[in-house]
Structure 1
Amino acid sequence: MHYIAISKEPLDVNALYEKVKDPQFGGIVVFSGTVRQWTGDVETQEIEYTAYESMAIKELTKLAVNIEQKGANVVIVHRIGRLKLADEAVFVGVAAAHRAEAFTWCESLIDELKQHVPIWKKEFDTDQIRWGGPA
């Protein structure tokens, strides 16, 4: 059974890992995205995430159910609010029978999340403010 959330609180990666873990699955892949300081020559100081929360939950649930129907357990949690450098912004975990599927499905989930889920980021860089997220 999947677990999906949008959180205003810091992400507890260990607790989320325990949610994805299941004795029927032998491969677990976790992606934890953090706020990085440098993107090329651009230095970020902090990021503020916002979301259309009800739609984001709906879209994340669709993504999770699609993967679960293939035979996996899925956990996806995205943080909103102001985050400092090295704070966890997103957690995606997939437990599957084998590692190959877990890697493939975890990568697919984070890619789909970034492209289609209504979560935006306002990056406070040293030289300007930038916006990112789906159009």
Structure 2
Amino acid sequence: MHYLRISDQPIEVGELYEKLVAPEYGGIDMFVGTVRQWTGPVETKEIEYSAYHPMAERQLEKLAEPIEAAGGRVVVAHRTGRLKLTDIAVFVGVAAPHRAEAFEWCRYIIDTLKQEVPIWKKEYDTDKVRWGN
């Protein structure tokens, strides 16, 4: 059963990893996204994440359901609020019977989450404030 969370609480990777471990899974793939200092020439000081929770939770459910119907397990946690450099912003984990599926599904979730789930970031850079997702 999937675990999906959007919260202002810190993300604990070890706890989320434990939700993926089960005897039926031979592959676990995880992506951990942190707040980075540099995006090309732009220097970031901190990021503030916000979300439209009801819709974001529904979108995450839509991402998880077909993967779980195909025999995988999905764990997603995304932070909201102000994050400092190196703070964990997002965790995506997928457990699958085989590694190829785990890799494919994990990448699909993080890429689709960035495009479709209503979570926004306000970047406080050294020169100005930028909005993105």
TM-score range, shorter chain: over 0.9
Q: Specify the alignment match of 2:43 in structure 1.
A: 43
Find the aligned partners of 1:65 and 1:21 in 2 and give their Cα distance: 18
The residue number in structure 1 matching 2:67 is 67
Q: Which moved more, 1:13-22 or 1:110-119?
A: 13-22
| RMSD, matched Cα | 0.6
Q: Percent identity?
A: 65
Cα deviation for residue 66 of structure 1 reads 1.6
Could you tell me which residue of structure 2 aligns to residue 5 of structure 1?
5
- Cα-to-partner distance string for 1:99-121 (whole Å, 9 max, x where unaligned): 01100000000000000000000
Instruction: Map 1:42-121 onto structure 2 (within 5 A).
Output: 42-121=42-121
5+ unaligned residues in a row in structure 1: which ranges? none
Q: Distance in 1 between matches of 2:69 and 2:110?
A: 17
Shift of 1:71: 1.4
Residue 21 of structure 1 and its aligned partner are, at CA, apart by: 1.4
Distance apart, 1:59 and its partner CA? 0.5
| In structure 1, C-alpha distance between the alignment counterparts of 2:63 and 2:57, rounded to whole Å | 10
- C-alpha distance in structure 2 between counterparts of 1:120 and 1:50, whole Å: 5
* Partner Cα distance (1:22, 1:10) in 2: 24
TM-score normalized by the length of structure 1: 0.97
The alpha-carbon deviation at position 16 of structure 1 amounts to 0.5
One-letter amino acid matched to 2:99: R
CA distance in 2, matches of 1:66, 1:112: 13
Deviation at 1:46, TM superposition (A): 0.2
Q: CA deviation at 1:77?
A: 0.7
Give the aligned partner of residue 18 of structure 1. 18
Gaps of 5+ in 2: none
Shift of 1:67: 1.2
* Offset of residue 20 of structure 1: 1.5
